[in-house]
Structure 1
Amino acid sequence: MLVDTPFNRYIVPPEQGVWLLPHVDHEVQCLTDVSLVSFYIATEMRHDMPKECAVLEISPFLKVLIYEARDFTDHYSWEDSQGLHLRLILQTLSEAPAAVYQLPFPSDKRLVKVLNCIQQTPSNHDSLEQWGDVVGASSRTLSRLFKKETGLHYTEWRQRLTIQIAIRKLIQGNPIAVVADELGYASVSAFTYMFRSKTGMTPRLFKGKQVR
């Protein structure tokens, strides 16, 4: 899935979940067939959950818990077996590590122009100095704005955008070599190294998880 909020974009591959805070406007786009299970957690139960929206790693154990809870009714007691099951899901969710599929959105019009240009031409690996000539700002100004508006340095933000584009293309069935070329990598091995360093798995393994 692709989840957009006013401030961030989240890619949610298989074996992942997205945590959204209350009252956050969001739009969900399914890039492939999706089976979705949603949990709504009362305010008083959220104290151990992340304080910001995030993509969470879903362990095999947690996946089984979620699968078994799909058929629970609304008529459960917090003290009965179903309530105990849901409390275990909540506890396990609160301990789930955050994944790297979050992309903070900038609002400055110059950074937005950079974002749009890279999305249209993902193979573009221009430096901040080169982007400065395009958007009319110094590289120092752009560097400061990226850190202020996204919390990330440009190189890290650029890599996260690359990961999001790569995941979307891989999910859509594009061959790894084609994705690597479209993203401007000189070789599949260079693309694989980047992808594995950011996601913990190779593109081939990631594609394999899509068909299970």
Structure 2
Amino acid sequence: MADHWAAQGHDRPVFSFASSAALARQIESSSAADLYISADHTWTDFLITQGRIDDAGIRTIARNQLVLAANTDAGLADRTGPETTLGATLKAGRIVVGNPDTVPLGRYTRDALDRQGLWQAIEGSIVPAASAQQAVRLVSRGETPLGIIYLSDTVGNQHVATLHRIETTEPIEYLALRLPASAHPDADRFLDLLTSERAAEIFQKHGFTAP
């Protein structure tokens, strides 16, 4: 996305990557930023209640899916077939998931597994991650054999193999908005780009789906 924007003659955007919660807390503390992208509604709702943003400008830019992935060196992909249930695979070892109290990935995971009656059964095997990025790193490095991560984080990642797709209780949506304190002249135009057909093509290339 940054390459496409810069190719149009604009200054290259500066991104700050962290969990939705961490970024929301920074905004709450008056961190200087022009746009905010959240992986769920929880933290945009939080900023609305804090009076930091207005819900009128929130746009859905992409969607994602949950998957149970295994480190490719763990050998689990070879032992998992179409007949293997999600519940059976979850018993194969420690599982990194996002912290459900602070990380959208973790909340989606807990809600999805709880609906299937699987969450309590694996609580003793869970390794909580402080962000979706940390969850991907841990399973990619083999520090845990399994991880529940976003489908988009498996694209181009040769260190993980997708074993199961996990249905969520609600759509996994990415929300973008301009922060009221932003004075950048291109902020609205970049937000428009994020909801354009070109952006949808870029998102789909990286494992996301259109909203």
TM-score, length basis structure 1: 0.27
Higher relative contact order, chain-length normalized (CA < 8 Å, sep 6+): 2
Structure number with the higher strand fraction is 2
Structure number with the higher helix fraction is 1
